[in-house]
Amino acid sequence: MPEIIARKFEWQPDYAVGIERIDQDHRWLFSAVDRLYQAMLAGQGKKQLEWLLSGLIEYSQRHFSFEEQLMRQTTYPGSAAHVRQHEEFRRHIGDLYANFQRGNATITIEALQFLTGWLARHTCDCDRAMAEHLKTSSR
């Protein structure tokens, strides 16, 4: 009997930063990586993987822009370092997409692990610090 594939890249409750709109985005980002993982395991074709990957890119761009806007509005002192981290993710996922487009139509588990590892660290460190600032700022 085929084993049921565990959800490998799920958002965890201890990633919560306590601002619902941001936590909701983070849950979506983790589940998008998980959907890519499930699609890879199921041997889905290039078109489907490409669709999922571009969805993840688009959503992460929107999410980062949203956080960056909040940081600007509240003149968050940690903004520059935070934005640099977003840039790192943008670059990384952009390279991943370019590689994929160049005909290497696979996404490795290691690449997905990198994405979720990055997301988990960034969420628990940078996003949490930003959220604490946002909670005390009048917007």
Q: Name the site residues for Fe ion (rule: CB under 5 A).
A: 67, 127
Cβ 75 to Fe ion, closest distance in Å?
16
Q: Which residue is nearest to Fe ion (CB)?
A: 127
Q: Looking at beta carbons only, is 34 or 67 nearer to Fe ion?
A: 67
Q: Looking at beta carbons only, is 78 or 101 nearer to Fe ion?
A: 78
Cβ 121 to Fe ion, closest distance in Å?
11
d(CA 87, CA 136) in angstroms, rounded, equals 26
Cβ 39 to Fe ion, closest distance in Å?
23
